[in-house]
Every structure is written in C-alpha cells, then in structure tokens.
Amino acid sequence: MHNIGNDIVDLNLAKTQSNWQRKGFLEKQFTQKEQEEIQDAENPFLKVWQFWSMKEAAYKCYTQKVEKRFFTPQKFECSLFSTTEGFVLFEDSKYVTTTSFKPSYIHTIAKETNNEVVIFSKIGSSKNIHIDLKIQLALETGVLSDEIVKVKTTVGAPLFYHKEKLLTKSCSISHHGNYGAFVFTL
C-alpha cells in the first residue's frame, strides 16, 4: 500500500507564534543544506515553512508505514526540483512532494511514488475539515456520509470504514490555525 501525507501551515499564525529566527531553531529542525537554502532564499520565512510542511507531510507517510511515532525533523531532508515540486529523504525512503502557496497558507502533499494518485485533496476551515472529508468520501464511494466511521491507527492516522469495509487506502488530515486540509486515496 502506498501512503500519502499532507501538512498545512497558517502563515499568519506562524508569523505570530513561531520565532524561527531564535537561536538554535534552524539547527534543531533543519539539515545544514536546508539551513543554507533558507539563509540564501529570497524569502527565508516562506522557505522555513515550506521545508517544515514537506517534512511533516513525509513524516505522515512514513509513520503510516512503520506505525511508530517519533520526532526527528532534522533527519528528513528536503530537496526541490522547482518552487513547488521536490522530495524528502528519510533513511531508505523517498517521498515526492508538491507544495502550493497561497497568501495565507502553505500546503504540501507527500506521496511514496509519483504514480500514486491523490483521489481528493481539499483545504478549508479548520473547524469543518472532518465533515468536509466525510462528505467528499460519500460522494466518491456512493455511501451515506452518516454511515462512514473514522478509526485511528496506533499512530493516529485516520482510516474510514463503511459497515466494516475499509474505504480509504491512505488518508491524511492536517490542521493549523484557521486552516484544515485532507488528502485520501481509495
């Protein structure tokens, strides 16, 4: 099974709650290569949060596979092909990423392969994202949204069922500030 992950960063909240320029922050979260890219970037603030969202999205893919949680963001190394396309390496695993930039948020989707098709991706209000996901899943599968049940794996990844039948192969939900996002494959 190929896993997908996603992460969203509310840029307005990141500006007020996260001092990425404080002593030691970059060193704890990012590799030397990433730190150099951040320092050389036209907009270091955006580069920090792009790399962060890439790492988080890849982490969600990886933890679905190994079913174990841990915190080592520096071991997930980001590389970019272009402004929006890149990949994240962690040990023997490689995750292909696509990042979208909007004035108020950054959203990244990570997949194990370029062939993995994301059936649906949505960004919306942080409060309604779970309802939106069930509605979209109902539309895609033809079952009633009220009959869809969410079950979390041991690492907190959501799986959705209808009458004990698994509907999603992989699903990732993300929240930050005013925004929520989800991606799933069937």
Digit-coded pLDDT (tens) for 60-85: 999 988 878 888 898 999 999 999 99
Residue 117 has pLDDT above 70, yes or no: no
What residue numbers bound the domain in which 36 lies? 4-185
- Residue closest to 173 by CA, chosen among 113, 119, 130: 130
Confidence class for position 99, pLDDT limits 50, 70, 90: very high
Residue 61: in which H helix or E strand, if any?
helix 44-66
89 or 69: which carries more pLDDT confidence?
Answer: 89
Please name the residue that has the structure tokens 């079913």. Answer: 67
The count of other CB atoms within 10 Å of the CB of residue 85 is: 12
- The CATH number given to whatever domain includes residue 100 is 3.90.470.20
* pTM of the shown model: 0.93
Q: What is the count of structural domains for the chain?
A: 1
- Specify the amino acid at residue 159: L
Residue-level pLDDT at 118: 62
Can you tell me the mean pLDDT for 14-37?
Answer: 90
Residue 95 has pLDDT above 90, yes or no: yes
Can you tell me the mean pLDDT for 77-97?
Answer: 96
Q: What percent of the chain has pLDDT over 70?
A: 96
Can you tell me the mean pLDDT for 80-91?
Answer: 96
